[in-house]
C-alpha cells in the first residue's frame, strides 16, 4: 500500500486531523469512513435542493475513492484482488459522477452500500493485521505474541 498517497488524499479533503498517526490498515478504514460520510452529506444536500453543496461532497467522495483508496492499492502484492478493487473503485467514481449529474439518490445509495460492504470486510481483518497469529514454529522457538 502506498500510505503516503493515501494520507495526502485523505488530508486534502479535510476529513481528519490524526491521519499522520494512523497505521496503513486504520488509514484505509478512515478513507472508507470519510467517503461514506461525504456521500451521506451529498445525499442530504440533494434532498434539500442544494446543488453546489451536493457537488462539493460528491467531489470529496470521488477524491477519497480515486486518489485515496484506488491510488493506495498495491497491484504487485495485491494481484487479482487489487485489480478487482481498482475496477470496483473506478465503477464507484462513475456512479458518483452520474449521481451528481442526474441527482440520482439511487446511485449514491449503491456506492454507499458497496463502500459499507468493503469497510466491514476490511475492518473484520484488523485483528489479524494488528496481531497476526503466532505460528507453531514461532511458539516453539519462544517467539510468543506480547
Contact (Cβ atoms closer than 8 angstroms) between residue 117 and residue 107: no
CA dist list (Å): 70 to 31, 110, 142: 10, 18, 40
Q: Mind listing the domains of the chain with CATH numbers?
A: 3-140 (1.20.120.340)
Per-residue pLDDT of the chain (146 residues; tens, 9 = 90+): 565 566 556 555 554 456 566 688 888 999 999 999 999 999 999 999 999 999 999 999 999 999 999 988 998 999 999 999 999 999 999 999 999 999 999 999 999 999 999 999 999 987 666 655 555 554 454 444 33
Long-range contacts (CB closer than 8 Å, 24 or more residues apart) made by 32-37: 32/69, 32/115, 32/118, 32/119, 32/122, 33/119, 34/10, 34/60, 34/64, 34/68, 35/61, 35/64, 35/65, 35/68, 35/69, 35/115, 36/112, 36/115, 36/116, 36/119
pLDDT at 141: 47
Amino acid at each position: 500500500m502506498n500510505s503516503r498517497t493515501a494520507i495526502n488524499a485523505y488530508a486534502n479533503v479535510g476529513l481528519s486531523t490524526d491521519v499522520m498517526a494512523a497505521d496503513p490498515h486504520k488509514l484505509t478504514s478512515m478513507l472508507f469512513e470519510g467517503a461514506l460520510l461525504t456521500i451521506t452529506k451529498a445525499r442530504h444536500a440533494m434532498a434539500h435542493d442544494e446543488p453546489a453543496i451536493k457537488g462539493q461532497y460528491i467531489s470529496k467522495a470521488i477524491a477519497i475513492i480515486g486518489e485515496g483508496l484506488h491510488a493506495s492499492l498495491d497491484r504487485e502484492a495485491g494481484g487479482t484482488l487489487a485489480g478487482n478493487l481498482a475496477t470496483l473503485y473506478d465503477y464507484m467514481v462513475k456512479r458518483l459522477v452520474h449521481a451528481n449529474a442526474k441527482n440520482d439518490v439511487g446511485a449514491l445509495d449503491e456506492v454507499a452500500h458497496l463502500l459499507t460492504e468493503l469497510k466491514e470486510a476490511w475492518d473484520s481483518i484488523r485483528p489479524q493485521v494488528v496481531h497476526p497469529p503466532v505460528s507453531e514454529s514461532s511458539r516453539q522457538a519462544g517467539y510468543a505474541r506480547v
